[in-house]
Structure 1
Amino acid sequence: MKADRQGQRPMTSDGTGELPPGTILAVDDDPKALGTFETYLKGAGLDVLTAMSGEQALGAVRRASPDIVLLDLSMPGMSGREVLRELKARKETSDIPVIIVTSVGQMAEREKAIHEGADDFLTKPIGRRELLMRVRTLLRLRRLHRDLERTLSSLHELEAARYAGGAAHDLLKGPPSRSPLATILIVEDELLERAIYADLLRDHGYTVLTVPTAHQALELLRFQKVDVILVDLVLPGMSGPELIERLKIVTPDTPVIVVTGHPSSHNAVTALRLGAFDFIIKGFKSEVMLHAVKRALEKRRLELQTRTLLYELKAKVAQLSERQP
């Protein structure tokens, strides 16, 4: 281990980087495997709990609420998959990341566990570097989840207070101050919802284009520029997250607002991690969408303005350099 110069958590010597603080529950009926997990994780500065059965694991989760569960699939009595299903079925434990641990010949079981909600997997024999890299990634995502939950809660409270105080009326009283010719692309496979969003935005001065699939959206963007894109997370064929990744390549300067019917921090994190500007939950009040679009347009305006200023600055510097003897 390498000591961090400013008293932060230690850096691992194998380049896996600094690990955020956290508590890991290792579940395996093999004492030797548990000893390996403890050695690697405690050596990286993490707190470790252990359990040798599914029942012990569920009890430990209820008592300690660990940040990650390392779960062996093959255990006598309550199997690893049964523990996984139990964790994901409970609201208070469903967001705890689970890394399943399998043997080489358990490919089918591993795929079933991933389908049932496991977040990652490791194959025995476990290597220290791989273990710490997987744990580090999930600890950072869990911390992001928690930060996002707090942020969302605060934002919802602020939005409720604003609308109760009359801010909603201000948003709905007329077209945005930005050019009314801003073009919004809606990617939504439900005809009724697509029509509702389009009517709302057109009523407030926007030009609106609509398509039901991701492939049609990409085809349209080959010849049509837009200012903001609204994307449903669940689309036929290419999914919403896949489309967002493609949009970051095809039109990286265009803000993407995700529309989802599933209000969870996981969906929010997925959307924001892929590069979405914002997300809104279906069933929203009309002013919520208008406000999100208005902010996205302002972001786009500021980014384009900044780029123009930087270009002008570079051109000026080049001119001054040419004038010097």
Structure 2
Amino acid sequence: MSLRKPKIVVIDDSEIVLEVSKSALEGAGYEVVTHDRPAGCVALILHEKPDLVLMDVNMPGLGGDTIVSVLGKAAPTSDTIVLLHSSLSAEVLRSKVSTAGAHGFIQKSGDLFGLVREVARWLKRSPNSGNMKAAIASPSEDRLSGTRPAAPAAGAASDSASGLSGRRPSGTLRLDAPTVLLVDDDMSVLSGFRRHLQNDDMSIEFALSGGQALRRMLSDTPPDAVVCDMLLPDISGIEVYQRAVTADPTFRQRFAVATGASGTPSVMSFLATFKGPVLYKPIDAAQLSQAVRSCLAGVRSFAKSGARP
């Protein structure tokens, strides 16, 4: 009998924080519910009965610490772990934790693997996730002094990156409303990429690791273009490209590289033969948009010609 996935509610007024946090936590085996405003938070939490809540502090209208105080009065015996989730200093957050009655806090840092590791530590479990397992294996020291709260027993694992080497027939290329997959394990980079492309007529998706990117790329509805970092925490961007092209050769036309590691021998060797767009960090909006449109143009040309890559 399969065990229930732990449920996490993430409350934040930032769409990018919600999207990348949800993607990272779901990839680690959690069920994730998101909410983008203070209004309705308490009712949502009482209805969902999550194992853990990540509560943003600075939101328009009502601060997350105030919401936590209200929640404590509404459900004083709840087993839910409530954590403040903010980029405020540790000193300020400790004070707000004490005042609001939260269990603790996790600082926003852009480190998504760190976020998953901290959530796992608070839940006192080690998610059996192929993508996140290495990052979770050595939990960091507690950022707050004192005993951490016990959590409900939980299980369930996400699918790993295995089984992706086989060939898959290429899906029908969608030439309208193209989907762009952005692959990077740094939340700040993904946020910047999203801002750069926000005025383009594209559907933006995220992957936070190589394994997650491959699963998306080799799905029945693959993205039209991929912008992939070279140094990822599980498998490299080089391997992502090679395995994707083996399964679907059209990825030669729709893959762009984003890297800050041009001096790494393996990356230099790969770039010497790679024929797609190469972006060197920091990347501005014009460069990113041009690279994505170059990938999309190559896909359209290939689709019209019917030629083999």
Q: TM-score, normalised by structure 1?
A: 0.37
Write 1 or 2 for the structure with the bigger share of helix.
Answer: 1
Larger Rg: 1
Q: With structure 2 as the length reference, what TM-score do the two structures score? A: 0.39
Greater RCO (Cα-Cα under 8 Å, separation 6 or more): 2
